[in-house]
Amino acid sequence: MRIKIRLSKKKLQKRAHAAELPAVRKAVAPSVVRVYFPARGFACTYYNDKFDLRRGDIVYVDGKLEGLRGFVTEVSYNFKIKLSEYKRVIAQASTEVKGKFYTAGEQLITFSPETLPYKKAAAWFLPPADPDEAYARGSGAGETLLLERFPKKIEPQAVERGEAYYAENRVVYLELAGARGRAVVEGRKPYEVEFTYQNGEIGGLLCTCYEVSACRHEAAALLQLRELLQIIEKQYAEQFEQSGYFAAVRKATLLEYAVDNRENGGFTLE
């Protein structure tokens, strides 16, 4: 079964017409928005003057809840507030997705780098990078692992917890572009996993969590990678060979973020 998301004819005509016109930045009407934070289980109100927000949009804010993913539940353009008393919406994640997907267990796969690239998908789970934040990265190559046998090279406790994360579909996104792999795994909060994959070998395995050695997030990502590669080999070898790329997203995530929030357009099953 293939899933293809397409825009309505009317929307396509609008976009074609807009492409002929010079780019003009759309003015945003200031608003007060109610934002629900699943990680905390409550909602707060924020001032917004940067984004054209609607119910269901994924946003990030400043203040005490900075860094937490929130969902817009209400938008009001009729208000009078003291700006000194309100924190602001500082980022909006784009959930506009166009392209063809193929089913793969609990995941949906695309073989087009333009359909759902890492940068777009990661913004659904991870806050925007702070330009003032300092980052450090080790330069060591690390140990190379065989993907089919990697559990034997990782601490048993990490493998056990990683298997639980994998079974719970916590690998919400995984991308393999050439030899470079990246994934987002939901733990206490979303974490980024990086690796290289070539000729059946995993190298450069990294995670943004606090573990020093291989962790549950890395184990879950590699288990998900192994499953996806097996499915691709059996069902989609031609598509993968042509592009040398695939990205997989959890079915429920794509439907919730990219489909449920649409006000028009549709998708077809083939």
Alpha-carbon distance of 99 to 104, in angstroms, equals 16
Long-range CB contact pairs, 252-255, < 8 A, 24+: 252/169, 253/124, 253/172, 253/173, 254/97, 254/101, 254/108, 254/116
Q: pLDDT by residue (tens digit) across 85-135?
A: 999 999 999 998 989 999 999 999 999 999 999 999 999 999 988 777 777
Number of Cα atoms under 13 Å in the Cβ half of residue 146: 3
Q: Which of 244, 118, 138, 142 is nearest to 201 (CA)?
A: 142
Q: Which of 19, 20, 43 is nearest to 33 (CA)?
A: 43
Query: Consecutive 10-residue runs of the chain (270 residues): their mean pLDDT?
Result: 47 44 66 95 96 94 94 96 96 92 94 96 90 68 78 85 95 97 94 95 92 90 96 96 96 84 57
Collapse the DSSP code of 239 into the 3-class scheme (helix H, G, I; strand E, B; otherwise coil) and give the result. Answer: helix
Q: Are 223 and 163 in contact (CB under 8 A)?
A: yes
Q: Are 172 and 125 in contact (CB under 8 A)?
A: yes
Structure pTM?
0.83
Q: Are strands 201-207 and 190-198 parallel, antiparallel or unpaired?
A: antiparallel
Residue type, 184: V
Give rounded-to-5 percent helix, strand, coil for the chain: 25, 35, 40
Q: What is the pLDDT of residue 140?
A: 56
In 125-208, which ranges are E strands? 145-146, 171-177, 180-186, 190-198, 201-207
Residue ranges covered by each domain of the chain: 24-93, 99-133+140-259
Alpha-carbon distance of 12 to 246, in angstroms, equals 26
Q: Which of 66, 9, 71 is nearest to 35 (CA)?
A: 71
